[in-house]
Amino acid sequence: MTQGSSYSIVIRMHVTPEVHASGAILTAVSETGAVITGLDISEPGHDMTVVDLSAMARDPQHAEEIRIVLNAIEGCSVDKISDSVFLIHLGGKIGISLKVPLRNRTDLARAYTPGVARVCMAIAENPADARNLTIKRNTVAVVSDGSAVLGLGNIGPEAAMPVMEGKAALFKKFADVDAWPICLDTQDVDEIVRTVELIAPGFGGINLEDISAPRCFEIEKQLRKKLNIPVFHDDQHGTAVVVLAALINASKLVNKDFANLNVVMSGAGAAGAAVAELLMFAGLKNIMLFDSRGAVSTKRNDLDPSKADLAMRTNLGCFEGTIKEALAGADVFIGVSQPNLIDAQDIATMADDPIVFALSNPDPEVNPVEAAKVAKVVATGRSDYPNQINNVLAFPGIFRGLLDSGAVNITQEVLVASAEAIAKCVTPEALSPVYIVPSVFDTSVAIAVAEAVIAASGNTRSVER
């Protein structure tokens, strides 16, 4: 993975007071090219002091270079270098907290036995009461099999846990939804479906995450048929919602009619298929999809059912050339595929004021800096460039609205309403080539999305959390 400016380290070392006071440590570290962000005394001492130095390094090799330089200073000895990313993952990132007091026997009798028996019997008589009398109404299962984790591929359920924990943390931070990671040690479609079906009574919604295509389509389809709670595959629908929101605003910026945009897409897997479906439902007429084997077309006989269906409704001219050739005259490029697929010269062949969404992570389909020299609008999936297409703009508010309304069906109308709500969070005054979607830390986004979901679902029931 690309480390870049995100490689933050903490160096613990023993130093003599003389060395600490001399500034030799700061000078030595700065001369390696690292950016020092803090220097703290962890354990003071008369003859020797334990010091923690925080810095931004390029990568692990750079950190090792810093270790060698510091150890070369007389009176300084490095104990260890810790990656700050690993430090915040120690013991996990989420936990469970109490919502009611347990101060004495009376509290215990109400929360647990014998009082709890009355609540159990009430639910037994009317199972729908579980929504209001348990955590169910505000709890989501974040389910993965570890088969398509970020840009890391099939790394398995244990390795997927940090991502699913992070997802749960985002649910809580941005929408006050209690989510829990469920990483399954199987990649069999039927086993996954049955497992989720079995645990569903304890949850108010299911968020499928990082499950590879085409299995993810079948899993979502079956679960939506079997369960009476909403099932949402974020890699598909979350991505699609934010892309649609960004494209709505980008089309305004370049003064082009959204419906008539000529779009070329790279990637026809889970995310690509969902993006194409939602853009077409929102009114877009002209999309040409590419997968690893070329243009998705009805002339091909190697397409799975999902791609075959898309081929019937996209690439109506049955274009069979390369993606570089397809870009000539196109208004929009959307990439959800692989790094370094096109270059600035390809973008230069597009129509006036081209729009480029290069969303492959961590390395985009085109260098964003080079693309920005030619394109009117450039968006990526990364946080270190403008216009980050981040699913956190969508899924917290979508689930907040679903849970509060009691809605079960996640329709295309709900997804379009969510996208429009995100787009409207960027005011006309704020809209610019480097600001087509709101900040992920804009607290108004989840609220606006939740309200849009409730209105679009036609179910206005709400509950206290």
Which residues are annotated as catalytic?
Answer: 112, 167
Q: What is the C-alpha to C-alpha distance for residues 135 and 437, in angstroms, rounded to an integer?
A: 33
Q: What is the C-alpha to C-alpha distance for residues 184 and 92, in angstroms, rounded to an integer?
A: 18
Rg (CA), the chain: 26
Query: Residue 140 corresponds to which tokens in the numbers above?
Result: 């989501």
What values do phi and psi take at 4, rounded to 5? 55, -150
Cα atoms in the Cβ-side hemisphere of radius 13 Å centred on 99: 6
Of 352, 277, 263, 347, the closest CA to residue 311 belongs to 277
Contact 386, 378 (CB under 8 A): yes
Query: Residue 35 corresponds to which tokens in the numbers above?
Result: 């950016």
Contact 129, 120 (CB under 8 A): no
Q: What is the DSSP letter of 435?
A: B
| Ramachandran sector of residue 207 (left: φ over 0; alpha: ψ -120 to 50; beta: rest) | beta
Helix, strand, or coil here: 128?
helix
Helices 24-31, 60-71: axis angle to 10 degrees equals 140
The number of beta carbons lying within 10 Å of the beta carbon of residue 259 is: 11
Helix (H) or strand (E) holding 116: helix 116-125
Q: What is the C-alpha to C-alpha distance for residues 21 and 38, in angstroms, rounded to an integer?
A: 15
Q: What is the C-alpha to C-alpha distance for residues 398 and 156, in angstroms, rounded to an integer?
A: 27
Q: What is the C-alpha to C-alpha distance for residues 226 and 380, in angstroms, rounded to an integer?
A: 36
The number of beta carbons lying within 10 Å of the beta carbon of residue 172 is: 13
Burial 378-395 (b: 16+ CB within 10 A, else e): bbbbbeebbbbbbbbbbb
Amino acid, single-letter form, for residue 15: V
Peptide bond into 339 cis (omega under 30): no
Contact 259, 436 (CB under 8 A): no
Peptide bond into 214 cis (omega under 30): yes
Q: What is the DSSP letter of 148?
A: S
